[in-house]
A and B are shown apart, each in its own frame.
Chain A
Amino acid sequence: MNLKPLFEPRTLAVFGVSATNERHPANVIFEKNNHRYPVEVFGVNPKGGTLHGEPLYGRVVDIPKKIDLAVIAARAEFVPGIITECIKAGVKSAAVISGGFTEGGRADLQERVTAIAREAKFPFLGPNCLGLYVPFRVDTFFLPIERMIKPSPGNVAFVSQSGGILVDQMIKFTQQGVGMSKAVSIGNKALIREIDLLKYMLADPATKVIAFYVEGFNEGEGREFVLAADCSPKPVIVMKAGKSAAGHRAVTSHTASLAGDYASFAAAVAQHNIVEAANEQELVSFCEVLSSYTQPINGKISIITGSGGHGAMAVDSCAATKLTVPQLSQKMQENLRKKLTVNIRSIASLSNPIDLTGSAVDEDFVACARALSATQEVDCIMVLLLPYLPGVTLDIGVRLSQVQKQFKKPIIAYVPHVEKYNMMIDGFELNGTPVSPSIEGAVQMAKALARKKPC
């Protein structure tokens, strides 16, 4: 199956565009792509007619150009016919938005569509999905353009079984400055499944991190998926829902009871180089940090902060994971002390966490980050910033990012996310250093870096 026409369409046919009902989902899709994206858009409606002076085509075969992607939002019973029509007309792929298949008790309809497509090697997303969004290329979501929150273009691909979770996650990505390369809703995943998209994203040059929202894999497909992810040089992240389902089924053996569906899922995923995000916050944090740093770390964390409390909170969060906050050697501490400004030299606490106190200035943070970047004693630096300290300036993000770029040792920052501090946050993020809105989130980021190395 060639998925390229699906993700990089030059021509788009939207089925069911109405000449009279502007609110029809097909119209929303038509409008938002037409003249907004480089893709050439054609409306299809058996009744023909025009929309804003542009012709609606009675059949896809009447369109004067070969179609790369068809978006189908027609009633379920018409879909097998439309798919057949598309295949005959040489259309190369489709996104079936329509619901009313397996999820609505019509497994037979879904099987028919799938059988037709499979025989013709015709790739389609869905049914019962939103389709896909690719920045600067195409957007098949039937959500009005003015309501959709689109993250900036970036390198995270997100594949979701649920359209709602996908759109919601895009809002959260935007809030936390995580850029996206592709957003894909797979719905009932009748033909194109997680494994197909994993393989596509592995080869996709625009994608560096591949994230999934999974409710469940089909029979035997979990095994195939984790084996494919095991050797992936690109980080693969999975968030699972339905963890508590099937817990009531009568089980006859201890193993079956202890190795329940979710326990098996978590074990198989962790064993194969996949990072499991426990919730949405973790998912966003993991995506952000892994899109900056793809190399796994061992998890020896150093913490630089201006407040003892911040350091203590972070140490506690690290202790709940496999991360360690090792005490720095005497030699290292002496080395650090020499580099600090005179004001704090005698009052800073340097054993790790490093508390530079409220009198610290940018130079103190930078000096510590440089020294810690050069030592083997730690392999990740967490900077918990208090932007309201008088000696800390808006430039700190850029300056610490320069250290990170020079030494290639991951730096993770915490800055409270309020509008006032946005320029400081941008200084980090626009220069490739991830910033978390909470201390715990910064620790989650480090946890994601301490993943298993690819096979």
Chain B
Amino acid sequence: MLKKEAKQILRKSEKWGWVLEPDAQKIFSLSGFAVPRYGMAEKSEDALSIVRKIGYPVVAKIVSPAIMHKSDVHGVVVGITDDQALLATLARFQKMEAFAGMLIAEMVKGLELIIGAKNDVQFGPMIMVGMGGVGVEIYRDVALRMAPLKSRDVENMVNELTAYRLLVGYRGAEQVSMRELRKTLLNFSSLIMDIRHYMESVDLNPVMCNAKACVIADARIILKK
């Protein structure tokens, strides 16, 4: 069942038509997903105190109800390793439209996957998993099913990816925890069924999967109009 706090976030976000990233991260962490350690900073002192807790390297992202596609406006900076770069990034973000803060999150290593959902007119909530990152629409290596997913569906989806061999540790690379990936997908499917009356589509991209966990490094929930 959807937690009351999550429901409040969804209602509050209706005016923007989508859920701001820290709010989306909150929904996912409330629902039992692994999310990176993060904090929101509006001013320099906040930013510095957040990184003292998380430790470098970090990723910084613009938070603004006016900016849904953060990368398009250079609103994402990965691999920040010192205070100088952190504060310079903050200063740049502060000038962006409707600046509401800077999200600072720990860098998580792993294979970049995408997990997504959309509300289809004919079939209702659909779930997708595939190779993530910026090339997702170029490689189009994704598997799609109607929600709610059964364990068998999850199994088949992962197996049918061209990237399956990467997941199981291609040429000595670290293997992805299939147990965590399956758990994440099933959990995602039930969350999507819970929020199906609110959502139009959801992108978790990337989800960083490694031998220990699948961590949602970026979450975007687009609400129904």
The docked-state distance in angstroms from the alpha carbon of A253 to that of B117 is 10
Starting from the known contacts A254-B114, A257-B137, A264-B123, 14 additional A-B residue pairs (CB-CB under 8 Å) come to A220-B124, A223-B124, A226-B123, A252-B68, A253-B220, A255-B117, A258-B116, A258-B142, A259-B142, A264-B122, A264-B146, A267-B126, A268-B126, A268-B145
Q: Are A252 and B128 in contact (CB under 8 A)?
A: no
Question: Is A296 part of the binding interface, using a Cβ–Cβ cutoff of 8 Å?
Answer: no
Q: Are A219 and B123 in contact, with the CB atoms below 8 A?
A: no
Asked whether any CB of chain B lies closer than 8 Å to the CB of A231, the reply is no
- The answer to whether B200 and A256 touch across the interface, beta carbons within 8 angstroms, is yes
**Chain B interface size, under 10 / 10 to 19 / 20 to 34 / 35 or more:** 20 to 34
**Cβ–Cβ < 8 Å partners of A258 in chain B:** 116, 128, 130, 136-137, 140, 142, 144
Say yes or no: A271-B146 contact (C-beta < 8 A), given A253-B118, A259-B126, A264-B120. Answer: yes
Option from B124, B143, B146, B203 in Cβ contact (under 8 Å) with A255: B203
Cα distance A267–B120 when bound, in Å?
A: 12
Name which residue of chain A comes closest to B125, CB basis: A223
Beyond A254-B205, A258-B128, whether A263 also contacts B146 by CB under 8 A is: no
Task: Give bound CA distance, A162 to B205, whole Å.
Answer: 41
A96 to chain B, nearest CB (A): 24
Assuming A256-B201, A258-B128, is B116 touching A222 (CB within 8 A)?
no
**Residue-by-residue, is A180-222 near B (CB-CB < 8 Å gives 1, otherwise 0)?**
0000000000000000000000000000000000001111111
Q: How many A-B residue pairs have CB under 8 A?
A: 91
Chain B residue nearest to A246 (CB atoms) is B121
Q: Can you name the residue of chain B whose Cβ is closest to the Cβ of A264?
A: B120
Interface string of B203-225 (1 = CB under 8 A from A): 10100000000000000101000
B201→A253 contact, CB < 8 A: yes
Q: Mark A217-248, 1 if CB is under 8 A from B, else 0.
A: 11111110010000000000000000000000
Instruction: Name the B residues within 8 Å of A264 (CB-CB).
Output: 118, 120, 122-123, 126, 144, 146
Q: Are A261 and B122 in contact (CB under 8 A)?
A: yes
A216 touches B122 (CB 8 A): yes
Check A259 against B120 for contact (C-beta < 8 Å): yes
Residues of A within 8 A of B123 (CB): 217, 222-223, 226, 264-265, 268
A272 at the interface (CB under 8 A from B): yes
Task: Indicate whether B63 reaches chain A with its CB closer than 8 angstroms.
Answer: no
Q: List 14 A-B contacts (CB under 8 A).
A: A216-B122, A217-B123, A223-B124, A223-B146, A254-B136, A255-B116, A255-B118, A258-B128, A259-B120, A259-B144, A263-B144, A267-B126, A268-B123, A271-B146
Cβ B146 vs Cβ A259 within 8 A: no
Q: A259 vs B145: C-alpha distance in the bound complex, in angstroms?
A: 9
Is the Cβ of B203 less than 8 Å from the Cβ of A272?
Answer: no
The smallest C-beta distance from A192 to any residue of chain B, in angstroms, reads 18
Spell out A's residues near B (CB within 8 Å): 216-223, 226, 252-259, 261, 263-265, 267-268, 271-272
Contact status B128-A268, CB under 8 Å: no
The residues in B between 101 and 144 inclusive whose CB is less than 8 angstroms from any CB of A are 114, 116-118, 120-124, 126, 128, 130, 136-137, 140, 142-144
**Do B222 and A271 touch (CB < 8 A)?**
no
Determine the chain A residues whose CB is within 8 A of the CB of B114 once the complex forms. Answer: 254-255
Name the interface residues of B160-208: CB closer than 8 Å to any CB of A.
Answer: 200-203, 205
B153 at the interface (CB under 8 A from A): yes
In the bound assembly, the distance between CA atoms of A265 and B117 in angstroms comes to: 14
A258 to B205, CA, bound (A): 13
Flag if A252 contacts B146 (CB, 8 Å). Answer: no
B120 touches A271 (CB 8 A): no
Residues of B within 8 A of A252 (CB): 68, 201, 222
**Least CB distance, B109 to chain A, in whole angstroms:** 22
Given contacts A253-B222, A255-B128, contact A223 B122 (CB under 8 A): yes
**A222 contacts which of B117, B120, B140, B202 (Cβ < 8 Å)?**
B120
Residues of B within 8 A of A254 (CB): 114, 116, 136-137, 203, 205
Closest 5 CB pairs of A and B: A255-B116, A222-B122, A267-B144, A253-B201, A217-B122
Q: Which of A226, A256, A257 contacts B146 (CB 8 A)?
A: A226
What residue in chain B is nearest A221 (Cβ atoms)?
B122
With a cutoff of 8 Å between Cβ atoms, the chain B residues found around residue A220 in the complex are: 121-122, 124
Instruction: Give A79 to B143 CA distance when docked, in angstroms.
Output: 47
Interchain nearest-CB distance for B184 vs A (Å): 15
CB distance from B69 to the nearest CB of A (A): 8
**Contacting residues, chain A, for B121 (C-beta < 8 A):** 219-220, 261
When the two chains form their complex, are residues A219 and B122 in contact, meaning their CB atoms are under 8 A apart? yes
| Nearest Cβ on chain A to B86's Cβ, whole angstroms | 28
**Which residues of the other chain, A, contact B146 by a CB distance below 8 angstroms?**
223, 226, 264, 267-268, 271-272
Name the A residues within 8 Å of B142 (CB-CB).
258-259
For the complex, give the distance between the alpha carbons of A432 and B151 in Å. Answer: 38
In angstroms, Cα B143 to Cα A226, docked, is 18
* B117, B121, B202 — most chain A CB neighbours (10 Å): B121
Residues of B within 8 Å of A226, CB to CB, are 123, 146
**What is the CB-to-nearest-CB distance from A226 to chain B, in angstroms, rounded to a whole number?**
7
Closest Cβ of chain B: how far from A251's Cβ, in Å? 8
How many Å lie between the Cα of A257 and that of B116 in the bound state? 11
- Closest CB of chain B to A392's CB: distance in Å? 41
Q: A216-B122, A271-B145 are in contact. Are A255 and B202 (CB under 8 A)?
A: yes
Distance in Å: Cβ of A43 to nearest Cβ of chain B: 41
Residues B41-77 near A (CB distance < 8 A) = 68
**Complex formed: what's the CA distance from A261 to B123 in Å?**
9
Nearest B residue to A214 via CB reads B122
- Chain A residue numbers with a CB within 8 Å of B116 are 253-255, 258-259
